[in-house]
Chains A and B, each alone.
Chain A
C-alpha cells in the first residue's frame, strides 16, 4: 500500500471532516441548550448561503452581504424559537424532532421562494488549490481552501468554548442545558436563552454555509449536509462540542478511506452510507457516543 497516497487521502478526509464538524456544531448547540434535535440545521445552512449570494448578486459587496445575512439568520433563529419551539415546550423529544423536519421543509421552500432555485457560485477569495510548498517538500497535496476552512472551524470552536465557559450568558446556557427547571428557579430567563442559542446556531449555519457554498456552489444539495452531520453527531455524542469535532474528523477520514479502498471493489458510492454504518455499529457498543452524557432512564 502506498503510504504517501494513504496520507493524502487521510488528510483530505480529515479536512473535509472539519467541514462536517462545522455543520454538526450547530446541532450540538441547540441540542445542548434545549434538548431539541434540530433537523433544520442543514436547511439553515442552505438558507444562509443562498441569502448571502442573493444579497451579493443585488450589487452589495460581500463584506456587507455577510453581516446583513447574519442579521437575517439571527432574526430567523429568533422567529423559529418563538413560533415553533415555544408552543411545543414540554412535548416529547420525538415530537420536537418531527417539528424540525417540518421546519426544514419550510426553510428550504422559503429560501427558494425568495432567491430562486438556480445554482449560484460563491467566491470568497480563497482558492481551492494545493499548497505548493507542502507539495514540493512531501509530495502530499493539501488544499489551501480546506486548510483555511479548518482554521476557521478551529477559531469558531475556540470562540464558542470561551463563550460557554467564561461569559455570563454562556454560564446561563450551561445551566439551562443541565436542568431547565432549576435554571428557571434561580432566575435565568429561559426563553431569552433559547433565543440566543438559536441566534448563535444561525450564525454557525452562516459560517458553514459560506464555506460549503464556496466549495461546492450554493445549491439545494447543501441541505443534505444535515444528513452528513447525523453520523458525526452519533459518533461524537449529541451534547459535546469536542465530540462534534472528533466525530467529524473520524467520519471524514473513514469515509474517504472507505471510498478509496473499499469503493472500487463494490462499484463506488460507498461515501453515501458508510458513515451511517460506522455510526450504527458504534451505537451498538456505546449508545451515547464518544463524549455524550450517559443516558439514565427510570421507570
Chain B
C-alpha cells in the first residue's frame, strides 16, 4: 500500500542509475542512517557499543571484502583472517615507525599492504579454481600468521607477540570512548560500503561477475581473467585489511596473532554465506546474524538454566554454538542458497502488493 513505485518515473540516466530507484527505499535508507548516526549514540549503552555495534560494523566490512572475492568474483577464499592480520599489524607498524602518521592514512596504507599480499596470493587463482583454490588460500592463512608470530620486527619485539594498538586521534580529537569509536568505525564502514556498492555496479564489478559465472565465456567476450581476478583479490584484501586494522584499533585494543586464525576466516565466510553471496546488503545481514547469534544463545542458555534450576556443564554452551552454526550453514545452503539478502528481497516483493495477494 505504502511501498510501491507507481507514478515514479525515471526521466534521466542519472535517475536510472541510482542505487535506490524507489523513493520509499531512499527514505528508509535515510532513516536507517539517521538512526545509526544520531539515535543510537544517544540511547545505546557501553555494552551494546563494545559487544555488538562495533564488532558488527567491522565484521560487515570484512564480509563485504570477502563477498567481493567470493560472491562477486567467485573465488573462494579461506584466508580472510590473514588479510585482516596484514591490515592490523600493518597499521600498527605504520603508526609506530613513522612519526606523525595520520591514522586514516595509516589505515589506507595498511589496506594497500593487504591488497599487495592479496595480489601475490591471488596469483594461483589464474591456474586453479574451486576448492583447489580454497586449499591454496589456506596456505596464505598459515603462512601469514606464521610470519607474524615468528618475525619479531612485526610485533615490535614484544615478548608475548601481543601488541597494543595506538590511540585513534584525528586532528587532536581522541576517539577513545565507545561512542566516538563507534562513530569512527561507522563513518569508515559507510563510506567503504558505498564505494563497494558502486564498484560492483561498475564495469569492473560486471567483469568479476562474468568471471564468476563462466570464466571461459567471459574470456571469449573480451574480459581479461587475470586482470579481473587479481583486481578482485586486491580490492577484497584491501577491504579485509582495513577491517583488520579497525578490528585491532577500535575493537580489540591489544592484539595477538591468534586473533586472526582460521576460525576468523570461517566466521567471515559464514557471514557471507548466511547473508547472501553477491550482495553488499547481505554482508551486513550476515555480520549482524553471526554477531548476535552467540549473544542470543548465551541468553537463552542462561534462561534455560534459571528455568530448569540447575546449571548446564561448562563448555556445553560453546559446543551448542558450534552445532547451531554448522546446522544453520547447512540449512541456509539447502533452503535459501542466496541467503538473508534474498529473503529481504522476497519481503519487499510481498510488501509491494500488500495487502493484496496478487
Select the stretch in B5-13, B223-231, B326-334, B344-352 that faces chain A. Answer: B326-334
B134: interface (CB < 8 Å): yes
| Nearest-Cβ distance from residue B34 to partner chain A, whole angstroms | 36
Is A109 within 8 A of B136, CB to CB?
no
A80 closest partner in B (C-beta): B330
Select the stretch in A96-104, A152-160, A176-184 that faces chain B. Answer: A96-104
Contact residues of B: prevailing secondary structure:
helix
Is A113 within 8 A of B333, CB to CB?
no
Is B128 within 8 A of A283, CB to CB?
yes
Q: CA separation between A95 and B321, bound complex, in Å?
A: 22
Instruction: Count residues of chain B with CB under 8 A from any CB of chain A.
Output: 46
Select the stretch in B83-91, B108-116, B142-150, B240-248 that faces chain A. Answer: B142-150
Is B143 within 8 A of A277, CB to CB?
yes
Q: CA separation between A101 and B270, bound complex, in Å?
A: 9
B217: interface (CB < 8 Å): yes
Q: Which of B132, B150, B316, B322 contacts A269 (CB 8 A)?
A: B150
Contact residues of A: prevailing secondary structure:
helix
Q: Which of B296-353 contact A (CB under 8 A)?
A: 313, 315-316, 318-330, 333-334, 337
Is A102 within 8 A of B143, CB to CB?
no
Q: Which of A233-266 contact B (CB under 8 A)?
A: 233-234, 266
Q: Mark A80-108, 1 if CB is under 8 A from B, else 0.
A: 00011001100101110111011111111
Q: Which of A86-143 contact B (CB under 8 A)?
A: 87-88, 91, 93-95, 97-99, 101-110, 112-113, 116-117
Q: CA separation between A108 and B320, bound complex, in Å?
A: 10
Is A272 within 8 A of B138, CB to CB?
no
Q: Mark B265-283, 1 if CB is under 8 A from A, else 0.
A: 0100110010000000000
| Nearest-Cβ distance from residue A100 to partner chain B, whole angstroms | 9
Q: CA separation between A98 and B327, bound complex, in Å?
A: 12
Is B146 within 8 A of A273, CB to CB?
yes
Q: Which of A84, A88, A98, A113 has the most CB of B within 10 A?
A: A98
Is A109 within 8 A of B149, CB to CB?
no
CB within 8 Å for A273 and B139 given contacts A94-B76, A108-B322, A113-B316: yes
Cβ contacts under 8 Å, B150 to chain A: 266-269
CB within 8 Å for A299 and B220 given contacts A99-B330, A269-B146: yes
CB within 8 Å for A102 and B319 given contacts A283-B128, A283-B136: no
| Nearest-Cβ distance from residue B276 to partner chain A, whole angstroms | 13
Is A105 within 8 A of B131, CB to CB?
no
Q: Mark B135-175, 1 if CB is under 8 A from A, else 0.
A: 11011001100100111000000000000000000000000
Cβ contacts under 8 Å, B253 to chain A: none
Is B329 within 8 A of A97, CB to CB?
no
A195: interface (CB < 8 Å): no
Is B329 within 8 A of A283, CB to CB?
no
Q: CA separation between A231 and B143, bound complex, in Å?
A: 14
Q: Which of A84, A102, A104, A297 contacts B216 (CB 8 A)?
A: A297
Other A-B pairs beyond A87-B334, A102-B326, A102-B333, 15, CB < 8 Å: A37-B131, A88-B334, A97-B76, A98-B329, A101-B266, A102-B330, A105-B266, A107-B326, A109-B319, A230-B138, A267-B151, A276-B138, A277-B139, A277-B143, A280-B124
Binding site for B on A (CB under 8 A): 37, 83-84, 87-88, 91, 93-95, 97-99, 101-110, 112-113, 116-117, 227, 230-231, 233-234, 266-269, 272-273, 276-277, 279-280, 283-284, 287, 297-299
17 intermolecular pairs with C-beta atoms under 8 Å apart: A91-B337, A93-B130, A93-B131, A99-B329, A99-B334, A101-B269, A102-B329, A106-B326, A106-B330, A109-B323, A109-B325, A110-B323, A112-B318, A117-B318, A230-B138, A287-B132, A299-B220
